[in-house]
Amino acid sequence: MLRYDAVLFDVDGTLIHSRPGIENTFAYAFRQMGLDPAGIDLSRYLGPPLRWSFAQHFSREEDVERAVDIYRERYARAGMHECTLYPGVQQMLARLKEAGLFLATATSKPRDVVLPILKEQNILPYFDLVGGASMDKSVDTKTAVIRQDLADSRLAGRRILMVGDRQDDMKGAADCGLPAAAVLYGYGSRAELEPWHPVLWAENTTALGDAILQAE
């Protein structure tokens, strides 16, 4: 019997190399808000929720919300197209589906934002559930996204694994009582992820698929 029969996937840094679109859009938003992005480490914001990211620079809630709106406008127009699948992602997802696993996303991107990206990258059909953040603050952390996924009755009683590349993914899994797999080809480092004691490590998507499909 397989160790897991359902997998929740982070998207940015796990399925999709989205750094160019995200960093370009953050730079645009910071310039629009009067800050010079040259002095900002944009890699910090590959993964965390938008509002948290902008709150590191703006203390007023109205400024944070304005920055979020600016970001989303540019991302929908250009940023979402500045990304590519990691090598082997489509093949890995196909293997997991053929093995009968339930596949879902658990991304900090709002569902309405990630759906067209998954479609454009030709991987939407592999997912039984597309889980993501809300446009407002109601579902705005990785923990909240995972909890929302777990409320789907189709996941009841399943052996579920969370897969991600950043500590937000590991924390979300831990908060929800799920084991987590850490991928090392994304945006996080082993040093960032190791304190969360992931049950699996993967250097590439082939290794990730092999590990997930390992029998007990």
The conformation of residue 213, written as its DSSP 8-state character, comes to T
What is the secondary structure of 87-98 as a DSSP string? TTHHHHHHHHHH
What is the structure's pLDDT at 163? 98
Which ranges in the chain belong to alpha helices (H)? 19-32, 50-55, 61-77, 89-98, 111-120, 142-150, 167-175, 190-193, 205-212
Instruction: Please report, for residues 54, 140, 143, 146, 165, the alpha-carbon distance to residue 117 in angstroms, rounded to integers and kept in the order given.
Output: 23, 19, 22, 20, 19
Q: At what angle do helices 205-212 and 89-98 cross, to 10 degrees?
A: 10
Which residue ranges form the domains of the chain, and what is each CATH number?
A: 6-18+83-212 (3.40.50.1000), 19-81 (1.10.150.240)
Return the biggest CA–CA distance within the chain. 56
What is the structure's pLDDT at 121? 97
* Cα–Cα distance, 189 to 168 (Å, whole number): 13
| pTM score above 0.85 | yes
What is the structure's pLDDT at 205? 98
Q: What is the mean pLDDT of each run of 10 residues along the chain (216 residues)?
A: 96 97 98 97 92 96 97 96 97 98 96 96 98 93 97 98 97 98 97 97 98 89
What is the structure's pLDDT at 14? 98
The torsion angles phi and psi of 137, rounded to 5 degrees, stand at -90, 0
At residue 201, the 3 state secondary structure works out as strand
What is the structure's pLDDT at 86? 98
* Cα–Cα distance, 122 to 71 (Å, whole number): 24
What is the structure's pLDDT at 63? 98
What is the structure's pLDDT at 88? 98
Q: What is the CA radius of gyration of the chain?
A: 17
What is the structure's pLDDT at 215? 77
What is the structure's pLDDT at 1? 86
